[in-house]
């Protein structure tokens, strides 16, 4: 009998969460081969779904109400195990929390992320994993740091309002009021983004347009972030504006690196450690990875690529399941993926694939069972 099957997908964006994908695939495998042991290890890369992956791996969810990207209350959660907490920016300050007509490129803030970090400290965390990605803001982490006790002041020493736009008026930053618990807390910045804070590859130029910024606003925000970084440096922050990852999440990466002393690590590696992936991989006969679209971006720091690399190193074969795939068989093999099974193989209508993924995925899983789980 073949060894256990480890199902380790990322989310199918706009359709199913990673745990939902794993459950649907498990249903199909058990339908076809009820005697095979099935293990589930949903993954993420530091963006949305990171807390869900931690919870699926045994972390305890703690509900938190925070200020959303434009100040509206948002119900989210952090995940805690012993003295480690996982905080996900996307669920507190994320672009997905806003409707397209609500985008606020100059005013959106990371305050809610700061509130989630405070909740983690209140829960006793001494290690905070900060998963960044999918942010609505370009505020350099100023909102997050303000909630944590920093003061961001204009020339008259008045506190500035939230958002990236007001950073053009920063005259000084006072870090003396930061929560003292932060000095005893390790912050791990989980991200697959290697952009610096400023310039053509920086937070404003690369990610500002998707947050609603027009070309003039992009330039304005880049200048505002430069002003912000000068003020942070003058206040005793670290000189990290050019460091890879400083541009993550509209510069929240910069705020974490410069002021919180964060250590940046690839998001998928952090998540795989959180869920004790290597233990679950031990003895497996097959690993099934997946996400909504398998493409070149998948192979650059995304969850499925990280899982495939771990499995290949352990000598365990890997197949992928996806909504669609844009990679050639040769490119897949180079990444350690033997084959990819897509919803578009069985349903040509992409919209139906998105709507009905939960009922279509078991059918694909049955195909995998027939073709890869030989008795």
The 10s digit of each residue's pLDDT in 121-131 is 999 999 999 99
DSSP conformation class of 235: T
With both helix axes pointing from N to C terminus, report the angle between 357-372 and 18-32 in degrees, rounded to the nearest 10: 50
Whether residues 214 and 134 fall in one domain: yes
Task: Give the pLDDT band of residue 221 (cuts 50, 70, 90).
Answer: very high
Strands across the sheet with 38-40, in order? 38-40, 5-7, 286-294, 318-325, 339-342
**Of 357, 347, 219, 373, whose CA–CA distance to 284 is shortest?**
373
Our CA angle for 202, 207, 211, nearest 5°, is 140
User: What pLDDT score does 337 carry?
Assistant: 92
Whether residues 160 and 219 fall in one domain: yes
In a domain, 277, yes or no: no
Name the residue range of residue 306's domain.
5-42+285-372
d(CA 272, CA 294): 19
b/e 214-227 (16+ beta carbons within 10 angstroms → b): eeebbebbbebbbb
**Residue 183 DSSP SS3:** helix
Whether residues 155 and 108 fall in one domain: yes
CATH of the domain at 340: 3.40.50.10350
Task: Give the pLDDT band of residue 70 (cuts 50, 70, 90).
Answer: very high
CATH of the domain at 238: 3.90.1510.10
User: What pLDDT score does 217 carry?
Assistant: 98
pLDDT digits (tens, 9 = 90+) for 317-349: 999 999 998 888 888 888 889 999 999 999 889
User: What pLDDT score does 193 carry?
Assistant: 86
The two tokens of residue 332 are 């897949």
The two tokens of residue 344 are 């578009």
User: How many other C-beta atoms can be found within 10 angstroms of the C-beta atom of residue 292?
Assistant: 22
Torsion sign, CA atoms 325, 331, 333, 334: negative
Whether residues 255 and 356 fall in one domain: no
Torsion sign, CA atoms 19, 22, 27, 30: negative
Our CA angle for 41, 47, 49, nearest 5°, is 40
In a domain, 290, yes or no: yes
Whether residues 88 and 200 fall in one domain: yes
Strands of the chain (E only): list them: 5-7, 38-40, 60-67, 73-81, 84-88, 127-131, 151-153, 172-174, 186-190, 263-265, 286-294, 318-325, 339-342
Which of residues 267, 300, 329 is at a domain's end?
267
Pairwise pLDDT comparison (2 vs 227), residue with the higher score: 227
pTM assigned to the model: 0.92
pLDDT averaged over every residue in the chain: 94
User: What pLDDT score does 1 carry?
Assistant: 53
The two tokens of residue 145 are 């740091």
d(CA 71, CA 138): 15
Percentage, residues of the chain above pLDDT 70? 99
Strands 84-88 and 127-131: parallel
d(CA 142, CA 191): 18
Whether residues 114 and 257 fall in one domain: yes
DSSP conformation class of 196: -
User: What pLDDT score does 195 carry?
Assistant: 94
The total number of structural domains that make up the chain? 2
Among 61-75, 208-222, 313-327, name the one with the lowest average pLDDT.
313-327
């Amino acid at each position: 009998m073949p060894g256990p099957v480890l199902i380790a997908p990322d989310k199918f964006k706009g359709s199913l969460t990673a745990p939902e994908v794993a459950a649907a695939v498990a249903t199909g495998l058990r339908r076809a081969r009820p005697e095979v042991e099935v293990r589930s290890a949903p993954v993420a890369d530091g963006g949305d779904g990171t807390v869900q992956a931690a919870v699926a791996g045994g972390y305890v969810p703690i509900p938190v109400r925070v200020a959303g990207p434009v100040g509206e209350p948002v119900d989210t959660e952090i995940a805690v195990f012993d003295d480690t907490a996982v905080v996900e920016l996307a669920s507190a300050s994320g672009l997905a929390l806003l409707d397209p007509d609500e985008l606020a490129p100059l005013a959106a803030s990371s305050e809610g992320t700061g509130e989630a970090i405070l909740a983690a400290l209140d829960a006793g965390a001494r290690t905070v994993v900060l998963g960044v990605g999918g942010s609505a803001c370009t505020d350099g982490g100023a909102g997050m740091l303000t909630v944590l006790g920093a003061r961001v002041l204009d020339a008259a020493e008045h506190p500035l309002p939230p958002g990236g736009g007001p950073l053009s008026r920063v005259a000084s930053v006072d870090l003396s009021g930061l929560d003292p618990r932060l000095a005893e807390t390790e912050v791990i910045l989980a991200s697959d983004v290697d952009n610096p804070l400023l310039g053509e590859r920086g937070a404003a130029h690369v990610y500002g347009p998707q947050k609603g910024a027009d070309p003039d606003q992009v330039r304005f925000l880049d200048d505002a972030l430069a002003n912000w970084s000068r003020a942070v440096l003058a206040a005793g922050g670290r000189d990290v504006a050019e460091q890879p990852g400083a541009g993550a999440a509209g510069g929240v990466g910069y705020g974490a690196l410069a002021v919180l002393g964060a250590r940046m690590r690839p998001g998928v590696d952090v998540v795989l450690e959180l869920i004790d992936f290597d233990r679950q991989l031990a003895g497996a006969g097959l690993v099934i990875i997946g996400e909504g679209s398998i493409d070149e971006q998948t192979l650059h720091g995304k969850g499925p690529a990280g899982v495939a690399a771990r499995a290949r190193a352990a000598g365990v074969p890997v197949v992928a399941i996806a909504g669609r795939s844009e990679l050639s068989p040769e490119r897949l093999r180079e990444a350690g993926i033997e084959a990819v099974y897509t919803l578009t193989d069985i349903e040509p209508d992409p919209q139906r694939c998105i709507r009905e993924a939960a009922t279509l995925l078991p059918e694909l899983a049955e195909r995998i069972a027939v073709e890869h789980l030989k008795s």
